[in-house]
Amino acid sequence: MTYEQTPPAQPAPGMYPHPAYVVAAPPKNGYATTALVLGICGFVLMGIPFFIGWVLGGVPDTLAVIFGIIGINRAATLGGVGKGEAIAGLVLACVSLLSVLIGAGSIW
């Protein structure tokens, strides 16, 4: 009794075989990144004199505080991903909003 060997299945010409494994993308925290970018923008723009800085810097700072809080909460569910970015954006926004008390954005 003889057994015939069948050749392994080959993909069609021009086709590639499927990979043996799939690598999942690491989780990302977009809220934390947004908080950091808005915090930096607000921190830089808050120093513009003649009350323009309050408008141009106050809006991004307010949004950075909101996104920073959401980013910290989301980092807790993602295992800490983006927590540092969220905290940095929140701190920059708070420092720049508190700088209004000493006259930032007014007449320097």
- Indicate the pLDDT class of residue 51, thresholds 50, 70 and 90: confident
Between residues 1 and 100, which one has the greater pLDDT?
A: 100
- Indicate the pLDDT class of residue 10, thresholds 50, 70 and 90: low
Does residue 53 lie in a domain region?
yes
Between residues 34 and 55, which one has the greater pLDDT?
A: 34
98 is in which domain, residue-wise?
30-102
Does residue 6 lie in a domain region?
no
Residue linked to tokens 């690491």: 26
Count CA atoms closer than 13 A to 61's CA, side-chain side: 22
Does residue 7 lie in a domain region?
no
Between residues 48 and 33, which one has the greater pLDDT?
A: 33
pTM, to two decimals: 0.75
Q: How many domains does the chain have?
A: 1
* Burial degree of 50 (CB within 10 A; 0-12, 13-18, 19+): exposed
